Amino acid sequence: MDKHLVVIGGTAAGMSAAARARRGDPSLSITVFERTGHITYGSCGLPYYIGDVIKDVNKLITYTPEYMKKERNIDVYTLHDVTDINTQEKYVKVKDLKSGDIFKQPYTQLVIATGAIPVVPKILGVEHKNIFTLRNVEDGLRIKELLSSGRVKRAAILGAGFIGLEVSEALRNWGIEVTVFEMLPAILPQIDEEFAILVEDELQKNSVKLYKNTKVVEFQASDENVIKILTEDGRTFESDMVIASVGVKPSTALARNANISIGPLDGIAVDKYMRTSAPYVWAAGDCTETYNLVTRKPAYLPLGTTANKQGKIAGENVVGGSAAFPGILGTQVTKIFDTYVASTGLNEMSAKDAGIAAVSAKIVHTDKASYYPGSKYIHTKIVLDKNTAKIIGAQMTGSEGIGKRIDVFATAITAGMTAYQLNELDLAYAPPVSPVYDPVLIAASAGIKELEKA
């Protein structure tokens, strides 16, 4: 048969793979199957859509199936669910969710980009119609429809990670009462507790109620719309809607059923070329495990940036390339009300868990020259390998200027730089942009002092 690439999944990794393969081989037949009704959408923008910062959901959608066919000659089928992969006979079984028809699609090469699925907490009553997860466009549409109805005066969020807290701001935009429940003693596991406390202050300032160390054990429908929330310690709360944001897990059922190897963290195991254990089958994005550049161990850190990069590498290699994905640091940044939060690499706890002897330093400094109007304080923490002086992690909170600064730390970690080398970087300076000594350099200097005391 003629060469035919089949891609399972039409969002970040899947469409990146298909587009890259098309550039590499203009004659290749390419078919993409996506089980939802939309492709190439910015799922990271969904909290801003439900918060009405973005009015039109179509602004989040980069391309349509019609565009991909006309401009890229890629056949994209939405509402088509791949239900089985046969790696021996090289075909996938597909169900058309509109008609119910089931058919086989042969392939010569296959990319699995099934993404991640929300973790739905095993709580009695979680099936209530006003309890949601937020993962795709359809979820966003349902949530915003309920918010727009005017029936929601109180909302609850389960989970105080980046997404849960972004959603808290989105819901406060509607002027409703917001309560966040977190099972753990601290919010935002990506950052150390003293930084998480700064974010808690921002939540309190914006009238978000936060209950840490609080496990929700049951939902009860007191009437058609009101949900009673019961906690393990015997308290009862009421809400008009609940958004569960307790994490995601890799969508690997198809791969498992096809006897494709699964890694220790339950993602599809791939090598640096995004190849799976099955011949002619690649995988990319949130369904896969990757490699942590600091710990040098498998990692599962589902991020849109990673998915797009991995998809491109898979697509290039499908058509004969040899591109390699080096690994990740899990670099992240977000805005929670008026505070920005960013992290890269390891925090102190994850360094300890990885068996790395670490020292850290914290500094507070302005993001601009202190005399320049509008200057704000940035809190920065640098984490260093005690034995090598290499930078292994950083965290920042403060103004929007932390976004690019965390990228400097990520670059330094990737390059294997020490605190001494980071301290010598020639960084840009102008009073409206940065102090003479940027917070990155001040943190490096503070880290050196800690190293020399250790």
pLDDT reported for residue 355: 96
| Active-site residue, selected from the candidate residues 3, 4, 25, 44 | 44
- What average pLDDT does this structure show over 344-366? 97
296-328 pLDDT, tens per residue? 999 999 999 999 999 999 999 999 999 999 999
The alpha carbon of residue 339 and the mean position of all alpha carbons in its chain are separated, in whole angstroms, by 19
In this structure, CATH architecture of domain 131-246: 3-Layer(bba) Sandwich (3.50)
Q: CB–CB of 241/155 below 8 Å?
A: yes
14-63 pLDDT, tens per residue? 999 999 999 999 999 999 999 999 999 999 999 999 999 999 999 999 99
200-247 pLDDT, tens per residue? 999 999 999 999 999 999 999 877 789 999 999 999 999 999 999 999
- What average pLDDT does this structure show over 402-426? 98
Question: Which is nearest to 227 in space by CA: 215, 245, 239?
Answer: 239
44 is catalytic: yes
The alpha carbon of residue 29 and the mean position of all alpha carbons in its chain are separated, in whole angstroms, by 31
Tokens coding 92: 């996938």
The answer for residues whose C-beta is within 8 angstroms of residue 430's C-beta and 6 or more apart is none
Q: Where are the alpha helices (DSSP H) in 149-272?
A: 162-172, 193-205, 253-257
Q: How far is Cα 262 from Cα 436, in angstroms, rounded to an integer?
A: 50
CATH topology of domain 339-453: FAD/NAD(P)-binding domain (3.50.50)
Q: How far is Cα 180 from Cα 163, in angstroms, rounded to an integer?
A: 12
Q: How far is Cα 315 from Cα 67, in angstroms, rounded to an integer?
A: 19
Tell me the average pLDDT of the chain.
97
Strands 208-211 and 281-283: unpaired
- What average pLDDT does this structure show over 3-9? 98
- CATH of 4-44+56-117+249-318, picked from 3.40.190.10, 3.50.50.60, 3.40.630.10, 3.65.10.10, is 3.50.50.60
107-148 pLDDT, tens per residue? 999 999 999 999 999 999 999 999 999 999 999 999 999 999
Q: SS in 3 state form for 376-418?
A: CEEEEEEEEECCCCEEEEEEEEECCCHHHHHHHHHHHHHCCCE
246-278 pLDDT, tens per residue? 999 999 999 999 999 999 999 999 999 999 999
pLDDT confidence band for 1 (50 / 70 / 90): low
Q: How far is Cα 301 from Cα 277, in angstroms, rounded to an integer?
A: 21
List, by residue range, all CATH 3.50.50.60 domains of the chain. 4-44+56-117+249-318, 131-246, 339-453
